[in-house]
Protein backbone atom coordinates (compact mmCIF):
# COMPACT_ATOMS: atom_id res chain seq x y z
CA UNK A 1 0.00 0.00 0.00
CA UNK A 2 1.28 3.47 -0.91
CA UNK A 3 1.97 6.08 1.73
CA UNK A 4 0.27 9.47 1.70
CA UNK A 5 3.47 11.10 0.42
CA UNK A 6 3.78 8.57 -2.41
CA UNK A 7 0.16 9.15 -3.44
CA UNK A 8 0.70 12.91 -3.30
CA UNK A 9 3.85 12.70 -5.43
CA UNK A 10 2.02 10.54 -7.99
CA UNK A 11 -0.86 13.02 -8.17
CA UNK A 12 1.45 16.03 -8.48
CA UNK A 13 3.27 14.34 -11.35
CA UNK A 14 -0.02 14.34 -13.30
CA UNK A 15 -0.86 18.03 -12.68
CA UNK A 16 -0.04 20.70 -15.23
CA UNK A 17 0.19 24.15 -13.69
CA UNK A 18 -0.81 27.07 -15.91
CA UNK A 19 -0.78 30.84 -15.56
CA UNK A 20 -3.95 32.92 -15.47
CA UNK A 21 -3.88 33.67 -19.20
CA UNK A 22 -3.62 30.00 -20.14
CA UNK A 23 -6.28 29.11 -17.57
CA UNK A 24 -8.69 31.69 -19.01
CA UNK A 25 -8.13 30.33 -22.52
CA UNK A 26 -8.69 26.75 -21.41
CA UNK A 27 -11.84 27.67 -19.48
CA UNK A 28 -13.16 29.54 -22.53
CA UNK A 29 -12.53 26.38 -24.57
CA UNK A 30 -14.63 24.36 -22.12
CA UNK A 31 -12.00 22.85 -19.84
CA UNK A 32 -12.90 22.06 -16.26
CA UNK A 33 -10.60 23.50 -13.62
CA UNK A 34 -9.89 22.87 -9.98
CA UNK A 35 -8.51 25.76 -7.94
CA UNK A 36 -6.08 24.28 -5.45
CA UNK A 37 -4.48 27.47 -4.19
CA UNK A 38 -3.88 27.90 -0.49
CA UNK A 39 -6.28 30.35 1.24
CA UNK A 40 -3.57 33.02 1.46
CA UNK A 41 -2.76 32.92 -2.28
pLDDT, mean over the chain: 91
The tally of domains found in the chain comes to 1
Residue 4 included in any domain? no
Q: What is the pTM of this model?
A: 0.54
SS3 8: helix
SS3 33: coil
Q: Which domain holds residue 23?
A: 16-41
Residue 34 included in any domain? yes
Rounded Cα gap, residues 2 and 24, in angstroms: 35
20-39 pLDDT tens trace: 999 999 999 999 988 888 88
Amino acid sequence: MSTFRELLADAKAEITEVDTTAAAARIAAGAGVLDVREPDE
